[in-house]
Amino acid sequence: MKYILLSIGLFFLFQINYSQRLSQGTVISVITCDEGDEIYSLFGHSALRVKDVRNHIDFVYNWGMFEFGSDELDFQYRFAKGKLKYYMAEELFENFMYTYQLEERTVREQILNLTYKQKIQLWNAIQENYKPENRYYRYDFFFDNCSTRIGELLKNALGESLNSSELPEANRYTYRQLIDKQVHTSQPWSDFGIDLALGKKIDKITTSEEMQFLPKYLEQFLALSKIQTTTGEQNLVAREKVLLVGKSRVSSTYDGWAPSTITWGVFFLVLVIHLINKRVLSLSLDVMMLLLFGILGGVVLFLWLGTDHEPTKSNFNLLWANPIHLVTIVLLLFKKKLLNKYALFMAFYSFAIILFWIALPQEFNEAVRPLILIQVLIYYYLYSSTKALSLDSE
C-alpha cells in the first residue's frame, strides 16, 4: 500500500513541476503542415511544439482534434449540424509526425525567438487552455480553428512585446477567394461544393489578422512579425526548419472534367434536345434537372436554417438552388393548366439572376451560370408548351 501511495505522490509531484517549470533551454515553435488529400486536410494544419530536453518534454499541442462519436452516423449528423466539438490535444512529437509521414505532407517549423519569461507566459497559457474545462471548443473553419487558436494564444501571451506586421495580401481578397486560390485548380469539385454550401458571410474582404484562418498565412505572419526582447526588437522567428518534405498538392492540376465543363455540356444537351423537339425525352430531362435543383435547394436551406454553421447562413445560392423547383414537377405532372403563367414568371425570375449577377452580394461559382441558363430554358419551354392549355382554360 505504501508503494502505491508513494507512486501517486511522485506522480502528482511530477505533474506540479511539469505544469509550472521549464528549463532555460526550452524551445517553443509553431509547426505548419501543408495540404493533404482528404477534404478536412485541404488547407493544411497548425500546431505548437514545446521541447525541453532537460525535462524530457517534446510535445505538440494540436487544436484540430475531434471525437468520432459512437458510430459513423452519429459523427456525420453532428458534423452536418455544426455540433461537432473539437478539442486541444497533447501528443508526443514523434507520434504527431508519424501521421504526416504516412500522408506525405510537408511539415515546417518556426522556432520562436522568446525570452525565458515569455516562454513561461506562453507555457502557462498552453497549460490553462489544456485544462479539461477549457480544451473543448465549437470549431468554425473561418473564425475559430487550429490556426486562429494559435494566433490568439500567441498574441494574448506575448501582449505588447509582439509587434505584428501586415501581410502583403491583406485587404485584397475575400475568405472565398482565399479558398479558391488554394483548391480551384487542384480540386475544382471541392471548390464547387464549398461555394455552393457557404453564404455571403465569407465574401468579406479579409484583414491581415483574418487571413490567418489558413495555416500558411499564420506562418507568413509569424515570419514577418517582430518581438521586443531584453536586447531590443528582433524577429519573432529565430529560425525555420523543414522537418519533412512531402508532395505538393496545390501546384497540381486536376486532370478530370471540371464542374464548369460539365454544366456547360449539360446546358447544350438540354438546348439541343429542346430544339429537336423530342417531347418525351425533353420532358424527362426537365424533370430530372428540376429534381436536382430542388434537392440542392433543400441542402442549401438545411445548411442555412438547420445547422449551427455560421458561414452557411445567408446563402444566395438559394436564388437558383431552391426547393420551389419541386413544386414545378408537381404542377407539370398533375396541374398542367396552372403551369403556364407560373413557368413564365420563373423564366423571367431565372433570367433576372443572370442579369443582376454582378450586383449580388455573394460570389457564385463559375459553374453555376450555365445551371441558371438551363432553368431559363426549361421554364421558357414549359411556358411555350402549356400556352395552349392556358388559353383553353380561359
The model's pLDDT over 22-38, given as tens digits with 9 standing for 90+, comes to 899 999 999 999 988 77
Q: What mean pLDDT comes out for the span 316-322?
A: 97
Order of strands, sheet of 232-235, starting from the edge strand that comes earlier in the sequence:
162-163, 226-229, 232-235
The per-residue pLDDT for 252 is 63
- Binned at pLDDT 50, 70 and 90, residue 8 comes out as very low
Kindly state the cell numbers that stand for 25. Answer: 533551454
Burial of 107 (0-12, 13-18, 19+ CB in 10 A): buried
pTM here is: 0.84
The per-residue pLDDT for 5 is 44
- Binned at pLDDT 50, 70 and 90, residue 307 comes out as confident
The per-residue pLDDT for 327 is 93
Pick from 80-84, 172-176, 347-351: least confident: 80-84
Residue 151 has pLDDT above 70, yes or no: yes
- To 5 degrees, how large is the angle CA 346–CA 349–CA 355? 145
* C-beta of residue 85 within 8 angstroms of C-beta of residue 138: yes
Find the DSSP H helices in 215-367: 215-224, 259-275, 279-305, 324-334, 339-355
Using CA atoms, how far apart are residues 44 and 216, in angstroms rounded to an integer? 8
- The torsion angles phi and psi of 31, rounded to 5 degrees, stand at -105, 130
Give which of 188, 193, 372 is closest to 299, Cα–Cα: 193
Neighbouring-strand partners of residue 133:
none
The per-residue pLDDT for 71 is 56
The per-residue pLDDT for 84 is 73
Using CA atoms, how far apart are residues 287 and 251, in angstroms rounded to an integer? 40
Using CA atoms, how far apart are residues 366 and 110, in angstroms rounded to an integer? 38
Using CA atoms, how far apart are residues 367 and 359, in angstroms rounded to an integer? 18
Residue 382's H or E segment, with its range, is: helix 368-385
Q: What mean pLDDT value characterizes the chain?
A: 87
* C-beta of residue 297 within 8 angstroms of C-beta of residue 318: yes
Residue 144 has pLDDT above 80, yes or no: yes
Neighbouring-strand partners of residue 136:
87
- Cβ density class 70-94: b for 16+ within 10 Å, e for less: eeeeeeeebbeebebebbbbebebe
How many residues does this entry show for the chain? Answer: 394
Order of strands, sheet of 136-138, starting from the edge strand that comes earlier in the sequence:
136-138, 85-92, 57-66, 45-52, 27-33, 107-112, 237-244
- Binned at pLDDT 50, 70 and 90, residue 308 comes out as confident
17-26, 177-186, 343-352: which has the highest mean pLDDT?
343-352
